[in-house]
């Protein structure tokens, strides 16, 4: 039978008791919603055998994963070269955001309250900088040096030195409303200094 999720054919045939053949041939490499809106780019899906008992949950997941179209989106980033972090090749498309979440990737027909033309630019998930010394990040909450490079998460407390009171550090980060995510290591030198009372000229005791 034909289904709107694939531009060519979405065929379901019972081959043996308890199993179903799922065949999806996609010439344009992109599924479409029931309204005809292109949702996301996917590779060719080969013939696979799936248990019939798993078919209904699978179809539900496919249908309900699609966003509701015909709505105004908060943000649409258009015409960007999308690198999604999955290891697949980059592809050109749009990214739609609503209520702080990505709701569609592909060709987005709906309009956004804000629209950005990313033609000639790369659209990618935020980068994680795992080695920083931005332990004073609460004093520079806009973190522009990171944001302008696409970094959305930093790890502080590197090279053996960190905040001793981690709870206090995170309270400061929250109170300052820091623009990026912050994680911290526990510095071994910081712990040793506390345990040794600041004196390193004596053997440590158990």
Q: Domain boundary at 102, 123, 144, which?
A: 123
- Whether residue 173 lies inside any domain: the answer is yes
- Nearest-angstrom CA–CA distance, 114 and 74: 6
**In a domain? residue 201:** no
- Answer yes or no: do 168 and 192 share one domain: yes
Note whether residue 79 is domain-resident: yes
In a shared domain, residues 141 and 96: no
What is the tens place of the pLDDT at every residue in 128-186?
Answer: 999 999 999 999 999 999 999 999 999 999 999 999 999 999 999 999 999 999 999 99
Q: Is residue 142 part of a domain?
A: yes
Residue 13 belongs to some domain of the structure: yes
Domain containing 185: what range? Answer: 127-196
- Residue 113: pLDDT above 90? yes
As beta bridge partners, residue 154 has 129, 182
State the Cα–Cα distance between residues 78 and 44, nearest whole angstrom. 24
Which ranges constitute the DSSP H helices of the chain?
55-65, 144-147, 166-175, 188-196
Instruction: Let me know if residue 150 belongs to a domain.
Output: yes
Q: What is the number of structural domains in the chain?
A: 3
Least confident of 19-23, 63-67, 79-83, 131-135: 19-23
Band of pLDDT at residue 53, cut at 50, 70 and 90: low
Query: Which one has a higher pLDDT value, 94 or 36?
Result: 94
143-145-151-153 Cα dihedral, nearest 10 degrees: -30
Which domain-ending residue is among 23, 42, 65? Answer: 65
The answer to whether the pTM exceeds 0.75 is no
Residue 79 has pLDDT above 80, yes or no: yes
Q: Is there a single domain that holds both residue 112 and residue 139?
A: no
- Boundary-marking domain end, from 48, 65, 82: 65
Structure confidence at residue 44 (pLDDT): 36
Q: What is the C-alpha to C-alpha distance for residues 37 and 18, in angstroms, rounded to an integer?
A: 33
Rounded Cα–Cα distance for residues 97 and 72 (Å) = 10
Give residue 120's pLDDT. Answer: 95
Q: Which residue in this structure is represented by tokens 């005791």?
A: 205
pLDDT, tens digit (0-9, with 9 covering 90-100), for 2-45: 333 333 333 333 333 333 333 333 333 333 333 333 333 333 33
In Å, how far are 65, 80, 164 from 176, measured between CA atoms?
A: 35, 32, 19
Q: Please state, in angstroms and rounded to a whole number, the distance separating the CA atoms of residues 40 and 101.
A: 16
Tell me: do 114 and 161 sit in the same domain.
no
Q: Both ends of the chain: CA-CA distance in Å? A: 73
Is 103 part of a structural domain of the chain? yes
- Residue 115's SS3 state is strand
The answer to whether residue 203 is domain-embedded is no
Report the pLDDT value the prediction gives residue 60, as an integer from 0 to 100: 54
């Amino acid at each position: 039978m034909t289904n709107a999720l694939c531009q060519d054919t979405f065929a379901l045939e019972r081959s043996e008791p308890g199993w179903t053949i799922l065949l999806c041939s996609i010439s344009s490499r992109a599924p479409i919603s029931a309204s005809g809106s292109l949702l996301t780019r996917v590779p060719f899906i080969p013939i696979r055998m799936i248990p019939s008992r798993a078919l209904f949950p699978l179809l539900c997941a496919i249908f309900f994963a699609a966003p509701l179209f015909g709505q105004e989106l908060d943000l649409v980033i258009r015409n960007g070269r999308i690198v999604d972090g999955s290891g697949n090749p980059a592809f050109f498309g749009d990214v739609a955001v609503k209520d702080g979440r990505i709701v569609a990737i592909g060709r987005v027909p709906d309009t956004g309250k804000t629209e950005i033309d990313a033609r000639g630019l790369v659209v990618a998930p935020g980068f994680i900088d795992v080695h920083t010394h931005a332990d004073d990040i609460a004093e520079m909450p806009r973190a522009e040096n990171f944001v302008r490079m696409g970094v959305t998460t930093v790890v502080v407390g590197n090279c053996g030195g960190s905040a001793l009171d981690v709870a206090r550090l995170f309270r400061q980060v929250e109170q300052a409303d820091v623009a990026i995510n912050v994680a911290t290591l526990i510095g071994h030198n910081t712990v040793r200094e506390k345990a040794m009372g600041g004196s390193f000229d004596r053997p440590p005791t158990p």
